[in-house]
Amino acid sequence: MDNEIRFEAPWGPMLRILTSACVIFLVGIAMIGIITSPHHNIGWIFGMVILPLTILIISSFFMIRGYVLFDNTLIIERLGWQTKIDLSKLATAEVDPTAMAKSIRTFGNGGMFCFAGLFHNKTLGTYRAFATDMRKCVILRFPNRIIVVTPDEPQRFATILRNRKPA
């Protein structure tokens, strides 16, 4: 596609720490389950081996791999699928490295492969995040919602959105 602009989704230190801790914890539970398993107890095998590994595998599909601006759409690349956001009613795009500070996650993923879902803080109110590095926040304001993304070049990303031609 000729008119697409790609941005990486770098992992910030907090995401690296939280993801590593979650992976170690879930794999650790599975290892303990395998080593200490009463071999014919299906409940034990499910709870201590299958469930932790399933959580790990399913969560990995929600990781954010990159952002693509294409025509009037923001495509958030995941592992094997995409989330598309229509930018036709975008009011503003502003860089704010503190946008997610003091946020409370109300629904979603708070640090296993990404920060994604619904969050709330005093500055933004309720917003949806698709983030990997909270130091690179770009706030996308629409008439009825706010979305926060974290591309590798936040200033360039916001500038491109501000300078785009309406559909």
Question: SS in 3 state form for the chain?
Answer: CCCEEEEECCCCHHHHHHHHHHHHHHHHHHHHHHHCCCCCCHHHHHHHHHHHHHHHHHHHCCCCCEEEEECCEEEEECCCCEEEEECCCCCEEEECCCCCCCCEEEEEEECCCCEEEEEEECCCEEEEEEECCHHHCEEEECCCCEEEECCCCHHHHHHHHHHCCCC
Give the model confidence (pLDDT) of 23-72 as tens digits.
Answer: 999 999 999 998 987 878 888 889 999 999 999 999 999 999 999 999 89
- Tokens in use for 17? 């720490």
pTM: 0.90
Task: Judge contact between 5 and 149, C-beta under 8 A.
Answer: no
Whole-number pLDDT of residue 102:
94
- The model's confidence at residue 165, banded by pLDDT at 50, 70 and 90, is low
Give the model confidence (pLDDT) of 125-163 as tens digits.
Answer: 999 999 999 999 999 999 999 999 999 999 999 999 998
